[in-house]
Structure 1
Amino acid sequence: MTNYQYVLYEKKDHIAYITINRPEVMNALHAAANQELTAVFRDFVADEGAWVAILTGAGERAFCAGNDLKATAEATARGEAPLTSRQNQNGEPVYFGGLIGLHCPKPIIAAVNGVAAGGGFELALACDLIIAAEQARFALPEPRVGLIAAAGGMHRLPQQLPLKIAMGLLLTGKWLSAQEAAHYGLVNEVVPLGRLRETAERWAAEILECSPLSVRLTKESVLAGLGRPIEEAMAADQERLRLLLASEDFREGPRAFVEKRKPQWKGR
């Protein structure tokens, strides 16, 4: 396990475990936490042996309560630049939660253990699957404090929920329970808190049964095709299809099927 100050990061059996580790402030994110999470997600994207990530929060109260408003107010009073214009010491951009704005073709599972509010909800929305504990709650309350859900929430939520439901949440800041989120198809599964990690790992294991290259190309194609006409989206798939047909995984899949054995995926 690699321990940062505000993130726990571990890789095992092709799974990267990323835990926001500020439970004393409900895992709210300040500048240093965002810098660490950016480094962690960059490492996950670059590591050829890491195929799936599970993102969660430390403790039992919160997945992530979003932007640390107290730290933001203190930074603003000191004249520091807002997050949108921040860079690390190498001049590289720092992303909110390490994920919002970062191109990540690999699947990410959000294991939501409690409150996911504001930027925390936006982090979950940016993941590919959401597994929620029974006590989990979701909200985008930014308008209640004079802000807007500018880390993707205003756009991802209407893509993932019926428009009127999404607008009701965006315009009021109301809370959505885990059970309500599952009802609307926003959450893949709701489980007791004690089973949250094992359930996320089960979903990860099912993804790992598939070719990691196929999974990455599928994710990229789906996201690139959102809102585009089917014919246009399929035409844009051709380059990805060429990559797939030239890969070792494309040859391995049918061979393993004929030989009645599990495929030995390479991810290339």
Structure 2
Amino acid sequence: MIMPSDAIEVRVDGPVGTVTLGRPDHGNALTRAMIAELRTALDDLYREKRVRAVVLTGRGEAFCLGRDVGEQAAESTNPADDLARWGAEAEEYRDLVAAMLELPKPIVAAVSGPAEAGGAGLVLASDVAVGCPGAGFGFPEPRRGVVAGVAAPLLAWRLGAGAAARLLLTSETISAEEAHRIGVYHELVGADLVWARASEVGNQAAQAAPEAVQLTKRLLWETIGEQLATQLSNGAIASAMARTTEAAKEGLNAHLGDREPEWP
């Protein structure tokens, strides 16, 4: 089945549903509409009883390069409108991450290209991640004058405070091999095999009793859910606050203009 937007495609192969980000000419960068459609896709696959696992992947050379910078950098003539929009954008991404964590079906990220910023957050929100040699991973937000607020607590939870500090404070995009070494990717395969291997993992999960798998994932979430949910909300607030600064304006415009920022 195909979603109304060309940017999100959903299909079902036996017990595995695949959600594909479909903006390859833009590095599968997330617009607000795509984030809403991803939520809808997850809800639909949750209700589809024959689906027991979900694969999340991207079309083209990138998995996902984060939020659409052009959409982020756009400003209105009313600062109050911009502030409200920045807050809403941060909350929408937070809600998507929370929905992935709470979904009582395993999510396997099939990462066949770079995963950066909000795209890297989608990898961390998945239960299992299969990468390939070209799947670099990182959070370049500080170089754009903004903050990876929602991803920060998720990164610390998955990898530990030390790895989180390194990635978030240096803005470094690490190689797929390094991401595999520190535990971002559970395994690496050839780029042409990523979706197939992720689908295999989904089918492995589907061989177990559905109720047992769903209860297990719910237990994993509830073990850390309350604390992490609060941290994700705090992170969304930090992201929105960072967008009010002159550094954010300069950083995003510099990125769009393919130049080095001149920090105020």
Q: SS state of the match for residue 63, structure 2?
A: strand
C-alpha contact (below 8 Å) 1:95/1:101 kept by paired residues: no
Task: Mark the CA change 1:224 to 1:65 in structure 2 (over 3 Å): closer, same or farther.
Answer: same
Structure 2 residue corresponding to 1:171, chosen from 169, 172, 177: 169
> Unaligned regions of 5+ residues in structure 2, if any?
227-264
Runs of 4+ in 1 over 3 A off after TM superposition: 75-81
Please identify the structure whose Cα radius of gyration is greater: 1
Aligned to 1:66: 66
Matched, 1:135 2:130: no
| CA RMSD, Structure 1 to Structure 2 (Å) | 2.3
Q: SS state of the match for residue 207, structure 1?
A: helix
Higher relative contact order (CA 8 A, sep 6+): 2
Measured after TM superposition, the shift of residue 224 of structure 1 is 1.6
Measured after TM superposition, the shift of residue 59 of structure 1 is 0.6
Structure 1 residue corresponding to 2:85, chosen from 60, 82, 87: 82
Q: SS state of the match for residue 54, structure 2?
A: strand
CA deviations 1:227-247 (Å, max 9, x no partner) are 99xxxxxxxxxxxxxxxxxxx
Rounded to whole Å, the distance in 2 between the matches of 1:142 and 1:120 is: 12
- What letter corresponds to residue 124 of structure 2 in structure 1? L
Q: SS state of the match for residue 67, structure 1?
A: coil
The normalised TM-score by structure 2 is: 0.77
Matched, 1:96 2:93: yes
Measured after TM superposition, the shift of residue 83 of structure 1 is 5.8
C-alpha contact (below 8 Å) 1:34/1:97 kept by paired residues: no
Give percent identity, aligned residues only: 31
Measured after TM superposition, the shift of residue 163 of structure 1 is 2.4
Rounded to whole Å, the distance in 2 between the matches of 1:59 and 1:70 is: 20
C-alpha contact (below 8 Å) 1:14/1:49 kept by paired residues: yes
Aligned to 1:188: 186
C-alpha contact (below 8 Å) 1:36/1:98 kept by paired residues: no
Q: SS state of the match for residue 164, structure 1?
A: helix
Aligned to 2:45: 44
Kindly tell me the number of residue pairs found equivalent between the two proteins: 220
Rounded to whole Å, the distance in 1 between the matches of 2:7 and 2:86 is: 17
Task: Mark the CA change 1:50 to 1:95 in structure 2 (over 3 Å): closer, same or farther.
Answer: farther
Higher helix share: 2
The normalised TM-score by structure 1 is: 0.75
Rounded to whole Å, the distance in 1 between the matches of 2:130 and 2:119 is: 14
